[in-house]
Amino acid sequence: MGQDHHLARQAERHLEEVGADRESLHYDRRWSTSGELFDRVTRVAGGLREEGVAPGDRVVAVMANSPDVGVLYSALWRAGAVATPAMFLLPPTELRHILTDAGARLVVVSPEFLGNVQVATEGLDVRIVVDAPGDHGLPTLDDLAGADPSEVVDRDDDDLAALMYTGGTTGRSKGVVLTHANLWHAGRAGQEATQEDGLKRTLLPLPLAHAFGLLVTAIGLHNEADQVTVLMRWFEPDGVVSLIAEHRLEQATLVPTMLKLLLTLPLEDHDLSSLRRIVCGSAPLPAETRQAFEQRVPSVTVCEGYGLTETTGAATSDRMSRRRAGTVGQALPDVELRIVDATTARSAAPLLDESGDDVPAGEPGEVLVGGRAVSPGYWRAPEATAETFFDDPAGRAGVRWCRTGDIGALDADGYLTILDRKKDLIIRGGFNIYPRDVEDALHEHPAVATAGVVGRPDDTYGEEIVAFVTPQPGAELDADEVRAWARERLGPKSYPREVRVIEALPLTPVMKLDRKRLRTMR
């Protein structure tokens, strides 16, 4: 397919279409033009090459929100390298796993997280670049931007553009391979869905060093000339309403926890009449939250979406003109959905032909997502790849399918409802928490014999993490001490907020942890 979907070439085409002088991005009380951002991209790409970053090299980003997140991603693609985002809340042990598993050559970090990165890179041949000036004695992105502009390094459609690490229910997190074609198609689909509702002015408070940031960057490569974005470094409720009112913003992308925190404000005291849509994803949205927000801000329609890192971040979305409450909307352009018998879905790919195995409309089953934005598979994990991905049964080139592990139902009009998660995923404040990862850490406590982790409903965060632990023979466990130990080990995102000490964990007849029973032990 040649170079049609090379992301850096798409960026060049996009600049030619929209013009270099348009103000496209607002951050920290300053507007940046498309031309300014593109010039910085070309120079950072040159600096990366001077640093020895070669085509195919993985570069990890541990960054707070700023225009330089998108600049770095685009510069890496221009240099032929691979963007590897890592959430800044990760503890050093998990960050070190990502750095070593990816074989990272370089990591770009915001000053706030430099200490964690230095611990994670100790003894590794990984260079550090800081995204802001300071007294740290390390090279900065500004230093890289002092290089001469770089030309585009040729890459093929199926070459690696990004490596996204996602938590696993067993073992360490896995790298999801995303190609130039994956991100190009996902970006175009996201842009077409946005364009359908005619909204031009967007607020972004979600962390960009995540699958969301990659998707936003890819969408931006397809934006029209009159579309603008206001970026926040961190989500802050008062800042959200102030920016919406000041810049007459029309849409915002949030997670349910953010909506709940906004509802604690005197929203009626702010002019939010320009706000037309809130896109809400990453976690189930309670109906009462949606209804309360729409009642208090009458101009708004809250739309839900659904997707996985394995599908390049998005698969479905509501549209304002045809939203169906309680669903996560219809498939994005060029995305296909199937609901299949959950037992057959985990079987060998040849059993899933073009017509068989689909359950009737409205019936529950495992959600399969197909399209050109679906990942080829996991990084250096062929067995896990075979379990989750398969080629298109109809033989269409570039189309892959993903077994999501989620249980859902698809109605006759193509609206998807997510009913359950087979993988026991806990979603706290929009972040995925995998019980096995928390349990593995708890098992390292010298006085813990066994551990089981589940989620419980929470009004603010959607779910909270609850750990049940049993003591080693002759040992005593203090729940508060275990919780504090886990927080230090796992970091502020993943530690259990509630720890309960019990005599024995419930087990199934085949001696596996019985999470269903564990959830009743509250």
Query: Among 48, 78, 70, 81, which residue's Cα sits nearest to residue 159?
Result: 81
Condensed to tens digits (0 to 9), the pLDDT of residues 478-494 reads: 999 999 999 998 988 89
Nearest of 262, 277, 259, 264 to residue 462 by alpha carbon = 259
- Sign of the dihedral through C-alpha 378, 380, 384, 389: positive
Q: Helices 211-220 & 67-78, crossing angle to 10 degrees?
A: 70
CATH number for the domain formed by residue range(s) 426-520: 3.30.300.30
CA-to-CA distance for 314 and 286, rounded, in angstroms? 20
Inform me whether the pLDDT recorded for 120 exceeds 90: yes
| CATH class of the 343-370+385-423 domain in this structure | mainly beta
Q: Which of 446, 464, 472, 63 is nearest to 231 (CA)?
A: 63
Q: Of 506, 490, 493, 390, which Cα lies nearest the Cα of 450? A: 506
Task: Write out pLDDT tens, residues 200-254.
Answer: 999 999 888 777 778 888 999 999 989 999 999 999 999 999 999 999 999 999 9
Nearest Cα neighbor of 423 from 446, 406, 398 is 406
Distance of CA 460 to the CA centre of its chain: 20
Highest mean pLDDT among 190-204, 391-405, 494-508 belongs to: 391-405
Looking at the chain, the domain(s) classified CATH 3.40.50.12780 span 7-181
Using the structure block, give the residue that is written with the tokens 């796992």. Answer: 490
Residue whose C-alpha is closest to residue 448's, from 420, 489, 411, 419 = 489
Question: For residue 79, what pLDDT is reported?
Answer: 98
Q: What is the pTM of this model?
A: 0.84
Euclidean distance between CA atoms 105 and 107, whole angstroms: 7
Residue ranges of the chain that CATH labels 3.30.300.30: 426-520
Lowest mean pLDDT among 174-183, 235-244, 324-333, 506-515: 506-515
Q: If we measure between CA atoms, which residue out of 196, 253, 194 comes closest to residue 220? A: 194
Query: Which has the closest alpha carbon to 421: 290, 303, 515?
Result: 515
Can you give the length of the chain in residues?
Answer: 522
**DSSP summary character for residue 197:** T
Kindly state the tokens that stand for 91. 């503890």
Kindly report, residue by residue over 4-26, the tens digit of the pLDDT: 899 999 999 999 999 999 999 99
Q: In angstroms, what is the C-alpha Rg of the chain?
A: 23
**What is the Cα–Cα distance from 303 to 326, expressed in whole angstroms?**
10
Q: Where are the CATH 2.30.38 domain residues in the chain?
A: 343-370+385-423
Average pLDDT, stretch 153-163?
A: 97
Q: Which CATH superfamily includes the segment(s) 7-181? A: ANL, N-terminal domain (3.40.50.12780)
Could you give the CA distance from residue 392 to residue 364 in angstroms, rounded to a whole number?
22
Residue 512: predicted pLDDT = 60
Does the pLDDT of residue 452 top 60, yes or no?
Answer: yes
Question: Is the confidence at residue 517, as pLDDT, over 90?
Answer: no
Q: How far, in Å, CA of 449 to CA of 504, rounded?
A: 9
- Residue-wise pLDDT tens digits, 162-193: 999 986 434 478 999 999 999 999 999 999 88
State residue 347's pLDDT score: 46
Does pLDDT of 363 surpass 80? yes
What residue type is assigned to position 50 of the chain? E
pLDDT digits (tens, 9 = 90+) for 421-435: 666 778 898 887 878
Q: How far apart are CA 360 and CA 251, in angstroms?
A: 35
With 0-12 / 13-18 / 19 or more C-beta atoms within 10 angstroms meaning exposed / middle / buried, residue 511 is exposed
What's 148's DSSP letter? P
Q: Are 434 and 463 in contact (CB under 8 A)?
A: no
